[in-house]
Amino acid sequence: MLRITVLVSGGGTNLQAIIDAIGEDRIHNAGIVRVISNNPGAYALERARGAGIDALCISPRDFPDRPAYYEALTAALKEADTELVVLAGFMVVLPESVIREYAGRIINIHPSLIPSFCGTGFYGIRVHEEVLKRGVRVTGATVHFVDEGTDTGPIILQKAVEVRDDDTPEILQRRVMEEAEWQIMPRAIDLIAAGRVEIRDGRTFIR
Ligand code: GRF
């Protein structure tokens, strides 16, 4: 079984999608061993506990500096014997030490079709505001491996979502989650757990 730690900051709907997919056998040979939030008020923690998953808050505010916080985070990943780190709406930038240590074993979900509407400053509702401002007809979501850059790692799965004339950022955000994020995140985890995702020359190949 692939041991997954999910890092969260907020509502945890992507976490829920993973929990449901494991329960419904859409993800095989994988389990969530731990959920870590940087935010004590994250509803994601309640979702995890409700599902019987070990859930803890490690907040930067409880540490004197960033290195101390990162050290605690790394220790918590190791303590759970984490094999795959899943960033599901985690609003903290991971340090290079963690990215190096878990190279090819950290994935993130981004609410656009990378390389559009990604990179520094493109997170949360802002992504959807910019999508509407630019007037694109298609947006979507991307699951990718995490490297040292912002949204630059090898892409695993993407799914397109239609933009409608009467969309607000909130309506579009919801559609992107329902039609794309909650589908491709569990699917990507299942592919990784099956050993079907290979990284070569900065891109992925699914066998
Ligand atoms: C999602 O839109 C995800 O793409 C982004 O943060 C949001 C997290 O939502 N990275 P949730 O906490 O999974 O509900």
Domain definitions of the chain by residue range: 1-102, 109-207
Atom of ligand 1 nearest to the CA of 176: 2
pLDDT, tens digit (0-9, with 9 covering 90-100), for 78-93:
999 999 999 999 999 9
**Rounded CA gap, 15 and 22, in Å?**
11
**Rounded CA gap, 5 and 90, in Å?**
12
When pLDDT is cut at 50, 70 and 90, the band that residue 97 belongs to is very high
Average pLDDT, the chain: 97
**Rounded CA gap, 111 and 134, in Å?**
16
Task: Tell me the catalytic residues.
Answer: 110
pLDDT, tens digit (0-9, with 9 covering 90-100), for 19-46:
999 999 999 999 999 999 999 999 999 9
Q: How many Å lie between the centroid of ligand 1 and the Cα of residue 96? A: 22
Give whole-number Cα distances, 200 to 61, 127, 154, 155, 156, in Å: 38, 29, 9, 11, 12
- pLDDT at res. 9: 98
Q: Report yes or no: 25 and 102 within 8 Å, Cβ to Cβ.
A: no
- pLDDT at res. 192: 98
Q: 1-102 and 109-207 share one CATH topology?
A: yes
Assign domain 1-102 to its CATH superfamily.
Answer: Formyl transferase, N-terminal domain (3.40.50.170)
Q: Report yes or no: 36 and 4 within 8 Å, Cβ to Cβ.
A: no
**Rounded CA gap, 143 and 108, in Å?**
6
Average pLDDT over residues 64-74: 97
When pLDDT is cut at 50, 70 and 90, the band that residue 106 belongs to is very high
Average pLDDT over residues 7-15: 98
Report residues whose beta carbon is within 6 angstroms of any ligand 1 atom.
Answer: 8, 10-15, 44, 88-89, 109-111, 124, 177, 181
Q: Which of 158, 181, 182, 183 to mutate to test the pocket of ligand 1 (most atoms within 8 A of CB)?
A: 181
pLDDT, tens digit (0-9, with 9 covering 90-100), for 139-180:
999 999 999 999 999 999 999 999 999 999 999 999 999 999
When pLDDT is cut at 50, 70 and 90, the band that residue 77 belongs to is very high
Give me the percent of the chain exceeding a pLDDT of 90. 100
Average pLDDT over residues 99-116: 97
- pLDDT at res. 95: 94
CATH 3.40.50.170 fits 109-207, yes or no: yes
Average pLDDT over residues 124-150: 97
